[in-house]
Amino acid sequence: MIKTALLFAGQGAQVVGMGRDWARELPTARSWFDRANAALGYDLAALCFDGPEAELTRTENAQPGIFLVSWVALQLLRERVPGLSFQAAAGLSLGEFTALTAAGALGFEDGLNLVRQRGRFMQEACAATRGGMAAIIGLDETPTREVCAQAGVTLANLNCPGQLVISGPAEHIARACELARARGARRALPLPVAGAYHSPLMASAQPKLQAELERVTLRPPAVPVIANVTARPHDGPETLRARLVEQVTSPVRWEESMRYLIEQGFTRFLELGPGTALTGFMKRIAKTAQVYNVADMASLAATAAALGADGAR
């Protein structure tokens, strides 16, 4: 049997127009967007479909928007491939919440509301601090960690070979980029983000998220869901809560998470939701892996056809 893992994107994947073609043409999609609007009490669907971009990009909107479009992608794929099964799930940063919802650990409304509140708490942390992030391309982990220590920033994302992201006080990010280039990085580019995600500057969001997590019911995932913090499957609900709180200030160990799944025999990966960043990462991590994505009508049709051809076993 082919072992399949679902992958869900994090913040930065949002784009104005995401989900719009599905909602126009597919009743199932429209019903999920309507359900999300009712749960949140505002028109998130309209933000996803029509923007404006500045409003959609706000953390408190981008996070539930990406969660919603990713969830709809999964439901549409299931509708087209009735035999679809998966044996694990993972998500980058906020995508971990989507993965947990897909695995049944969270209900849809609870997951949606959690990422909405998580985004709001992180937006507040951004406003209270002056943080930034930068992509470091072509420099290995060890010298990048040395750069971080020297510049007073932290390693935030370990995405794939040759692509790392650093995070910290904005005035330190520029210095870190200079140091990284001096150490041989091909590129060291500040990112257009609101703050220093996955760094200690997000600490003020943690107790607020903890309180929200205590209000929802968490169930054991039906399949293993890989935690960003440990790059290993979540345990029971209580440690799951703790890992999701830790995740706000901890590095996202994405490459290690994917290598763990590959070691467990996973060979097929389905990226669900806006963008293809995770597909790109996987091509750098394991060139022989089968990777498909569902982001719009065309990719939905192509992935459904590919999975249907082998029965999605």
Dist CA 166 CA 173 (whole Å) = 8
Return d(Cα 280, Cα 161) in angstroms, integer: 11
Q: What is the 3-state secondary structure (H, E, C) of 203-254?
A: CCHHHHHHHHHHCCCCCCCCCCEECCCCCCECCCHHHHHHHHHHCCCCCECH
Is 198 a known active-site residue?
A: yes
CA distance 70 to 26: 15
Tell me which of 198, 199, 257, 299 is the catalytic residue.
Answer: 198
d(CA 274, CA 26): 17
What are the phi and psi torsion angles at 301 (to 5°)? Answer: -65, -45
Q: Which residue of the set 70, 93, 199, 299 is catalytic?
A: 93
Report d(CA 114, CA 157) in Å as an integer: 22
DSSP assignment letter at 300: H
Please check whether residue 125 is in contact with residue 209, taking contact to mean a CB–CB distance below 8 angstroms.
no
Residue 234 designated active-site: no
Residue 144: Cβ-neighbour burial (10 angstroms; 0-12, 13-18, 19+)? buried
Positive/negative CA dihedral, 157, 174, 186, 148: negative
112 token code pair: 């949606």
Mention every residue, 6+ apart, whose C-beta is less than 8 A from residue 42: none
Contact call for residues 289 and 267 (beta carbons, < 8 A): yes
- Which residues have a catalytic role annotated? 93, 198
